[in-house]
Amino acid sequence: MTQTTKRLGLSLLCVVVLSITAMAQMIETADGVLDRMKANTQAIEDLDAFLTVEAYSDGDVSLTQRIRLSLLQPDRMRQEYLEPDYLAGNLSLIIGDRMWIYIAAIETWYERDLAELSTAEQPWLVFRQFLRGVQNEFADYTFELLSAEGDMDHQDDITHQGDEYHIQGTAETDAAVYGRIELWVDSQTFVPNKRILYDVEGNLLVELRILEVEEVADSTYMARMLQTYDETGELKSTIHYDSITVNSGLDPTLFVRIEEPANE
């Protein structure tokens, strides 16, 4: 056997091995995709991020906000407004399924029904799913895999070229917030590239597009830049994470209401 033949044979063997590996790693069910999405968050014990949110009206920026977003396992979330000045100091605090809003100007807390909020109006709530002690937002839906890596998406006739999974969740309980959820999930990071929410009548509520993703811990990825669009396709907001820090040992008192004793 000549050296050329040996090299050719070795190259073909490598191609076969790589093909077999790719096939073995391919996920064949929607539940498998959801499991990988959940596994992506397991290395995060706490998170502290500063972000800029731009709201749009008729294609122009109508409001710019700077926010600090903090998470602490298993079930605590805090959002504090930093800018503009008239909102600075206002914050939202979520512990488990309870939520409070603090209005700095009058130094008063108000309890809010968390069930009344949705990621359609509050995209930052998406990151609450990093918390292990809260109910999975997909628990009230039955998911199916519409297209896998390299399959043809029959709805928009686009080939995904092996880079994402398209899954769809349909409400199966009365507790479901939406009628239907569609996700296009990156096959490497398992962060959704796109997320579309529909009401119970099938009307599109909001489309969330993730434009940038960052590895924030070992094999743990997070969205860095997001955009939301309304039912007409008009851009409504852009969310950019200016900095993200994970597993820094956040002080638990950050998640205590001001009038509460720190050991509550």
Residue 119's pLDDT band, with cuts at 50, 70 and 90, is low
164 lies in some domain? yes
pLDDT of residue 121: 62
pLDDT at residue 115 tops 50: yes
Average pLDDT in the 135-155 region? 76
210 lies in some domain? yes
pLDDT at residue 180 tops 80: yes
157 lies in some domain? yes
Instruction: Report how many domains make up the chain.
Output: 1
6 lies in some domain? no
pLDDT of residue 2: 52
263 lies in some domain? no
> By percentage, how much of the chain surpasses pLDDT 90?
61
pLDDT of residue 11: 39
116 lies in some domain? yes
For the segment 3-32, what is each residue's pLDDT rounded down to a tens digit?
Answer: 444 443 443 333 333 332 333 367 989 999
pLDDT of residue 17: 33
Residue 125's pLDDT band, with cuts at 50, 70 and 90, is confident
126 lies in some domain? yes
Residue 132's pLDDT band, with cuts at 50, 70 and 90, is confident
DSSP the chain: --HHHHHHHHHHHHHHHHHHHHHHH---SHHHHHHHHHHTTTT-SEEEEEEEEEEEETTEEEEEEEEEEEEETTTEEEEEEEESTTTTT-EEEEETTEEEEEEGGGTEEEEE-GGG--TTT-GGGGGGGG-TTS--TTTTEEEEEEE-TT-EETTTTEE-TTSEEEEEEEE-STT-SSSEEEEEEETTT--EEEEEEE-TTS-EEEEEEEEEEEEEETTEEEEEEEEEE-TTS-EEEEEEEEEEEESS---GGGGS-TTS-TT-
Give residue 250's domain range: 27-255
Q: For the domain that residue 137 is a member of, what is the CATH number?
A: 2.50.20.10
When mean pLDDT is compared across 132-136, 167-171, 237-241, the lowest value belongs to: 132-136
99 lies in some domain? yes
For the segment 204-247, what is each residue's pLDDT rounded down to a tens digit?
Answer: 999 999 999 999 888 889 999 999 999 999 999 999 999 999 99
